[in-house]
Amino acid sequence: MDRLKEFIVYITTEKRFSPHTCMAYQSDLEQFKSFVETELSVSELYQASHKDIRAWIFYLLEKGDTPRSVNRKISTLKTFFKFLLRNDYIEINPVDKVITPKQSKRLPSFMDESEIYTMFNRIDFPDTFEGIRDKTIIETFYALGIRLSELVNMNYEDIDFFNKNVKVLGKRNKERIIPFGPHLEACFKHYFLVYENNFGCLQQNMPIFVTKKGRKIYSKLVYKIVHKHIEMVSNVQQKSPHVIRHTFATHLLNQGADLNAIKELLGHSSLAATQVYTHTSIGKLKEIYNQAHPRA
């Protein structure tokens, strides 16, 4: 087995990276392999030097890749060469000598509380299976702050109505428990009633959200649903499920929630990933200051 295939097996079976992440890593490494073979006459990936990696970085930047995109690819190389080093396939990690391109901090897009209110109280969701499902999907995103993949893979057994919480399987199969309130509870119960009228009783291991034909819902459809409804109420540049996740975190922080608690709810592995939301709240602080300070 060649080193690349061995690495993909390693991150798939031992590290248990998600299928999406494994595909991205494989694509990055195949791009790098093609570049060093074609442009630099390097026959094997493990023979690449730090100079070869730098040349690839310059090539990517020159063809228009953003520093953010390039840094993600460098992260793939770091993981790959650490694997080679740990298995004694190489003696020196070439990525250690590589300086990553600087990137500007991109603050997450989020919706105002008034826009969320409008979405849930002013938009007319049709009184059909699809209309009720779509409203429940958006309510679930906002109430739980979950990722797109987490919503798609939610099963009926994950909901605990007695304790009013949901079990979510996040990145790297890490479980977390998220509480929910009366709005989502009512939404779930209405949706499940309509679901059973259309498709029969929900079993424990069955997916919560399905298509109009009763099949497990897929990411592209959920994205379209969310995009359509955000577009009705907001001018925010991005209109994706992740924007509602950002909105969930920002609104919690604006209302005084502890940053560590938000970290646990979002399923972040470190606080650094959550701290980006403190930047988005500075505008809120300025607004409060200007309204409340006598000499503002």
Catalytic residue selected from 3, 54, 268, 284: 268
Look up 171 and say whether it is catalytic.
Answer: yes
Pairing of strands 175-179, 159-160: unpaired
- What tokens appear for 72 in the block? 């993600």
Same domain, residue pair 125 and 62:
no
Catalytic residue selected from 73, 147, 246, 251: 147
Return averaged pLDDT per consecutive 10 residues of the chain, 296 residues in all: 87 88 93 91 87 92 88 93 92 89 73 93 93 97 96 96 94 90 96 96 94 96 96 91 94 88 90 77 62 64
CA distance 179 to 161: 10
Specify the CATH number for the domain of residue 68: 1.10.150.130
The answer as to whether 107 is a domain residue is: no
The answer as to whether 108 is a domain residue is: no
Provide the b/e sequence for 182-215 (b: ≥16 CB within 10 Å): eebeebbeebbebbeeeeeebeeebbbbbeeeee
Same domain, residue pair 124 and 212:
yes
Maximum alpha-carbon separation in the chain = 71
- What tokens appear for 113 in the block? 């509380």
The answer as to whether 164 is a domain residue is: yes
Same domain, residue pair 82 and 164:
no
Catalytic residue selected from 3, 54, 171, 284: 171
Q: What is the dihedral of CA 153, 156, 158, 163, to 10 degrees?
A: 150
For 231, the domain range is 113-290
Closest CA to 108 of 237, 19, 1: 237
The answer as to whether 105 is a domain residue is: no
Closest CA to 138 of 231, 270, 42, 16: 231
User: How many domains does the chain fold into?
Assistant: 2
CA distance 221 to 144: 19
Q: Report whether 144 contacts 185 (CB < 8 A).
A: no
End-of-domain residue from the set 97, 124, 150: 97
CA distance 72 to 77: 9
Say whether 96 sits in a helix, a strand or coil. helix
- What tokens appear for 284 in the block? 């809120």
Predicted pLDDT of residue 279: 66
The answer as to whether 103 is a domain residue is: no
Look up 133 and say whether it is catalytic.
Answer: no
Predicted pLDDT of residue 293: 60
- The alpha helices in the chain, defined as continuous H runs, are 3-9, 19-40, 50-62, 67-86, 113-121, 129-144, 148-152, 182-199, 219-233, 241-254, 259-266, 271-274, 276-280, 282-292
The answer as to whether 102 is a domain residue is: no
CA distance 292 to 223: 40
Catalytic residue selected from 133, 135, 245, 251: 245
Look up 16 and say whether it is catalytic.
Answer: no
Same domain, residue pair 86 and 123:
no
Same domain, residue pair 162 and 233:
yes
Provide the β-strand partners of residue 36: none
Look up 242 and say whether it is catalytic.
Answer: yes
The answer as to whether 77 is a domain residue is: yes
CB atoms closer than 10 angstroms to residue 262: 20
Same domain, residue pair 51 and 153:
no
Same domain, residue pair 90 and 193:
no
Predicted pLDDT of residue 229: 96
Same domain, residue pair 186 and 218:
yes
Predicted pLDDT of residue 66: 87
Q: Report whether 245 contacts 147 (CB < 8 A).
A: yes
Specify the CATH number for the domain of residue 188: 1.10.443.10
Provide the β-strand partners of residue 166: 159, 178
Same domain, residue pair 84 and 146:
no
Non-local (6+) Cβ contacts of 105 within 8 A are 276, 279
The answer as to whether 106 is a domain residue is: no
Same domain, residue pair 220 and 249:
yes
Predicted pLDDT of residue 281: 62
Same domain, residue pair 72 and 190:
no
Same domain, residue pair 14 and 64:
yes
